[in-house]
A and B are shown apart, each in its own frame.
Chain A
Amino acid sequence: MKKRIIVIGGGVAGMQTALRLAEQGIEPVIVEKEPELGGKLRGWHVLFPTFTPAEQVLTDLRRRINERGIEVMTSTEVVGLEPRSVALADGRRLTCDSVVLASGSTLFDASIKEEYGYGIYDNVFTSADLERMFNEGRVAKADGSAPRRIAFLHCVGSRDEKVCQQHCSKVCCVTGVKQAMEMKRLFPEADVFNFYMDIRMFGPGYEELYREAQQSYNIHFVRGRISEASPTLEGRVQIKAEDTLTGRPLRMSVDMLVLLIGMRANDDNARLADGAGLQRARSGFMAPRDLFLGNVASNVDGIFYAGTVTAPKTIGESLNEATAAADAAVRYVEA
């Protein structure tokens, strides 16, 4: 009889884990709380640094899941886990031989940073809103007109002790560069500014993208965080910042302010961790057993991690980690 491994979460990490498990003769079951597979990627337009459509990646993963006949339980919420079973919100308990937790992370709620007026001023958006607008093919100010000046603000809900999010969300810097370039393509006449405290271009092709944004797209990068946003009489957004390279305060009005929101730990990580005896990092993300030799294993035998449940990661990293987590889980159940 085949060994059965439950994969909690049907985002890219969960899907890739299940595929890898199935390839090795294991029976995976994906438990996803949303009505369909795809996770955060469902709301994304194109992926950095290659501008690959997110849908292309998702379509391929979904097709392979279907072809392999992998069991998928959607609209199903997990409320607890153990190495040999998973408890569901409807009271059922699924038994298994091991569990891979790939429940991902949560996008930071930008309205918590009240000074930026998200949810209050019409022309303040988040990076996730912008991706949705790209997907819908309608990127515009709230009144439908084209923006003439656009500002991106990095690190909203990342590296910010005031909102208890000390960690770097890693992917927002390059997302800001990518989205700025997409906006410039849509609105070539617009001035596009990126306000940052560091630009962390860690991945292959990222630094090149950052350079291209400046040299070919004439996107302005200002080292300084925006301190506050306010509405103007014309429906624009006035922002204040300090350009820390010139040491001067700066005030400008923009048509759109885009907040590059970070990734934070899921609220239910604490409950899941407490129930299963799992360790969490100070950031609230799950803590792997060892950051070098056991980064897909948890501190509990039989429970493994894949994707952003342990820390912010790119899509590529999540996919790679899913493969590693699946392999580790197979070794565990076949030992």
Chain B
Amino acid sequence: MKRRSWQEYQKEIADDHYYYARSCIRQNFFPGSEKAFIDILTNDLGKDLLDDPKHSSCTGIGYHSDIVPLETIMTVVARQFSLMNEAGYENFVTSCITSFGIYTEILATWHEFPETEEKTRENLFKATGREFRKPANVAHTSDVMFHFRDEIAARAKHRLVNAVTGEPLRVVEHIGCHYAKIFPKSGIGGSEFPYVLAGMIESWGGEVVDYPERRHCCGFGFRNYLVQANRGYSIANSHKKLESMAPYKPDFIVANCPGCAMFLDKWQYAIAEMEGTTYGQNGHGIPVLTYEEMAGLVLGYDPWALGIQMHQVDVEPLLDKMGIEYDPAAKYLGRNGKYIGKPESAVVNCCPTDTIYDIRE
């Protein structure tokens, strides 16, 4: 793949001292990912990061659903910056792609229309008595992981290669639309040939799959999913991507957006149940990881501690390929060995195919 153009899209990513803004939804979807990010940065790489319980949702989902007005979200964002100032940090890292898009968009809006920044300062002061300084640096957490990809590679316990054949694993990378499609310059590699995940994959031994619908949206798109009547549109988008990538026989999919990782995973279940179609090489689904989970597996973290048992599509075939040892009996044991429940068997996972039914009947 002759991806030269990504080198023209670089951005400054701080080396240390991060103010961490969590996502509203990721801890439900992938409960171990944000913790893995904090652990990797602080324990493995020795960086300073503040996980501040005071910060709130950026209200991005409400904003994109037309229930949170622009002035309100600007004020909320200003409050996050104020909290960061108060804690003595100036490098803002956000775990959610939507939030990253929001912060980028609002900073750009304040730059282009300074009167909106003034109005926001006024609103924040009226509402909370706070003032704020803009961050020196805003990055998505996948940017930070990309920034340290070589350091992670140097500490790797496992590589993204097939442990038996030695061949690189074939990885589909999917970038959330709000990472670079709003402001291409704000993403590593721009919007057409994003390199943030591809860079990690290549550094850790894998091979990036370039397939025709690589740029296509996963279908989350807020309105597509939040409005129940539109969900057919959402699944149609994921379906289009899965159909397009399947001939390339990917070993797994990695995404940097809460919605993308969730929908590319969960819609595989829905498609398998509705049509009996699965896209993995083993007759089941294609495992979907977050980039923190991918980094965690490379660094030798326990798969269950990373929370990958919460995924819809079983990840064990990938663990086997990478030669990662795991305890199958511990899969559904949560913290302190507490049983967390086991999902019903499904076509997309390792279960008999006679569970397929036709939704039309």
Contacts and interface: CB of A to CB of B under 8 A. Distances in A.
Contact of B5 (A120, A230, A238): A120
A114 interface: yes
A230 B193 contact: no
A66 interface: no
Contacts of B210: 230-231
A238 B212 contact: yes
Q: Contact residue range for chain B?
A: 10 to 19
A231 B192 contact: no
Nearest to B248: A233
Given A119-B2, A120-B2, A228-B215, 9 more contacts: A114-B5, A119-B4, A120-B1, A120-B3, A120-B4, A230-B212, A230-B215, A233-B211, A233-B248
16 contacts: A114-B5, A114-B190, A114-B192, A114-B193, A120-B2, A120-B5, A120-B193, A228-B192, A228-B215, A230-B210, A230-B213, A230-B214, A230-B215, A231-B212, A233-B211, A238-B212
A59 interface: no
Nearest to B240: A251
Contacts of B213: 230
A232 B5 contact: no
B302 to A, nearest CB: 36
A118 to B, nearest CB: 10
B247 interface: yes
A101 to B, nearest CB: 32
Given A120-B193, A233-B247, A233-B248, A111 B214 contact: no
Nearest to A112: B5
Q: Contact residue range for chain A?
A: 10 to 19
A115 interface: yes
Q: With a 10 A CB-CB cut-off, give which of A114, A115, A119, A232 has the most chain B CB atoms.
A: A114
B219 to A, nearest CB: 15
Given A114-B193, A115-B192, A230 B211 contact: yes
Contacts of B191: 114
A231 B244 CA distance: 11
Contacts of B212: 230-232, 238
Interface in B148-189: none
Nearest to A234: B247
Interface in A138-163: none
A111 B211 contact: no
Interface in A199-248: 228, 230-233, 238
B66 to A, nearest CB: 25
A318 B211 CA distance: 44
Nearest to A120: B2
Interface string A104-133: 000000010011000110000000000000
Contacts of A115: 192, 215
